Structure 1
Amino acid sequence: MRSVTSNKPDVAADPRPLRVPVHVGVIMDGNGRWAASRGLPRIEGHRRGLEALRGAVRTAIDFKLDYLTVYSFSMENWSRPVTEVADLMGLLKRFIRNDLADLKKANVKIKVIGRRDDLKPDIRALLQEAETATCGGTGLNLIVAFNYGARQEIAAAARALAEEARSGLIDPADIDEAFFASRLDTAGVPDPDLIIRTSGEQRLSNFLMWQAAYSEFVFLPIHWPDFDRKAFAAAVEEFGARERRFGGVTPAATASAART
């Protein structure tokens, strides 16, 4: 991972201040299609996708984001060919072993979300190592969704609350949205302001379904290995131009209604 800089986002040309999101989620899609379009094996697409991830982390630091959540491996990905899954696990190990020191130096704090109980011991140990080594980071919070599924996360949270209620530890009447969210993998993390998906697909694919209730979405036609600083900046710029109402109305609309 190359050294990072402190450049501000080099996006909008107009003088209006850029509204940078606090938390960006990224669905890194299209590695295999990128490779296939070039007559390359799928593993080469994943290797290039790892380079794109490194670039995205550098850009997130430069843009001074507080949180970046990347969908690295879904629970459904286990259905892929055994050789491809093995290649992906190898890339995960390489990323942690080769990049951990640089991430720590860049003041990045890593948090891994997703199920770990059914992972191999060496993978669990690597994930724990990444979290432990960077636990003192006060810069970018890099959240890695690994062996993750949003439906499974929500079901696990519901089970945990049901067990606590059955044991008399909580009153079911006290369970509200905030209480429920405190049992999710992302407890304590603000919901994503912006979710970016590459490869032209326009769906969540079981990613942060609870947390994305009011997220803005940007779908890019490029495959993940082609995702670079320019593409990241364009997505942030589009986010900054949008009007977020969270189910309400804008102040301008309210003022207009008051005058009529």
Structure 2
Amino acid sequence: MAGFTDATRVRPDGAGGFDAELDPLWTVGGKPNGGYLLAILARAAVEAAGTHPDPLSASAVYLSPPDPGPAAVSVEVLRTGRSASQIRARLSQKDRTCVEALFTLGALAAAGEPRWVDAAPPPVAAEQDLFPTPAQAPGTGLRIDMLEQFEQRIDWQAVGDPAGELRGWLRLPDGATWDPVSLLFAADAFPPATFTLGSNGWTPTLELTVYVRALPAAGPLRVRQRARLLTEHLVDQVCEIWDSQDRVVVQATQLAAYRMATP
């Protein structure tokens, strides 16, 4: 099992950039997950900045899906301030740009009571009452290797109520604690919400924006993923994540392509 920290590690290349090894165990259909790639870029951004340890926001565009194996990360420090730094990072493979992202880095505190929040955590069946999602669901023909590296439990009784929404839990193995970088992955770790509306599951991310709001308490993450608008070929969906103390720790929006299942 490739732990998340090891699977997202970057190494200075001696020329101002970083080398990364894209792990085949953190893939969907053989291609690295988008949140996993964003976490690799965040590792490089934090190391390049040197002053601010946590990603506060990340916005990535996905240009070309890389393959597992060696990749290069280039980093440009746009600004370094007292409370925040802004960094641009780019992941390339075989002279092809695959992902480009902008980060705002800072220092996060543990989640406290918010002054105001527009929604309470949604009801979800107890974690122990739900089954882990298998890496290859029967009849799908798609293998999701990353599901053997963490626990994803979907509340299937709540699927489609309301329509276009999924709820459930995420947990890292062996009691590992979620941190700001792994939360970037969590924001893209759930199935697409279009699944509840009849899509065939193919939902490549075009753009992903994540806000990391606080350091999470130990334990599982409660996740709600919902589609907001489907046009002919595109969907925008929102992912909201609460820690084990019911505090908001992640908010994310992504634009993705989708296909409806053939009748």
What is the TM-score with the length of structure 1 in the denominator? 0.25
Larger relative contact order (Cα-Cα within 8 Å, sequence gap ≥ 6):
1
What is the TM-score with the length of structure 2 in the denominator? 0.24
More helix as a share of residues? 1
Specify the structure having the higher radius of gyration (Cα).
1
